Amino acid sequence: TLRGMLNNDLKATADAVLSLVKDGATDGVQIDPTLFSEYHVRSVPALVVFCDRGYDIIRGNLRVKQALEKVATAGDCRQVAGEILQQNKR
């Protein structure tokens, strides 16, 4: 989910998103403002991993893989984060 622009620059934001998609770090980008309210996201960057037990939010300037590794280690949704990491190893 994308909210706002990187460094208030549309080109930099588009380049960053394209880089994530090309690197396989994400299957795509979802822009849905209702999710920001639902998960109480007030600042970006933020990665939300949700599961039956709730959700985890990792904030800060990290690569997606690093954020997922943090959730996989200590988050409530560690199983989901671990599965995403395993899928991206293929």
Query: What local confidence, expressed as pLDDT, does residue 49 receive?
Result: 93
pLDDT along the chain (90 residues), means of 10: 73 78 62 85 87 94 89 96 84
In a domain, 1, yes or no: no
Q: Which pLDDT belongs to residue 26?
A: 59
pTM of the model: 0.65
Q: What is the model's pLDDT at position 67?
A: 92
Our count of domains for the chain comes to 1
What per-residue confidence (pLDDT) applies to 5? 72
- Tell me if 85 is assigned to some domain: yes
In a domain, 71, yes or no: yes
Domain that holds residue 29: 6-89
pLDDT value for 19: 76
| Per-residue pLDDT at 9 | 80
Tell me whether residue 80 is exposed, middle or buried, using C-beta atoms within 10 angstroms of its C-beta: 0 to 12, 13 to 18, 19 or more.
buried
Looking at the domain assignment, is residue 43 inside a domain?
A: yes
Per the domain annotation, does 81 fall within a domain? yes
Whether 66 is in a domain gets the answer yes
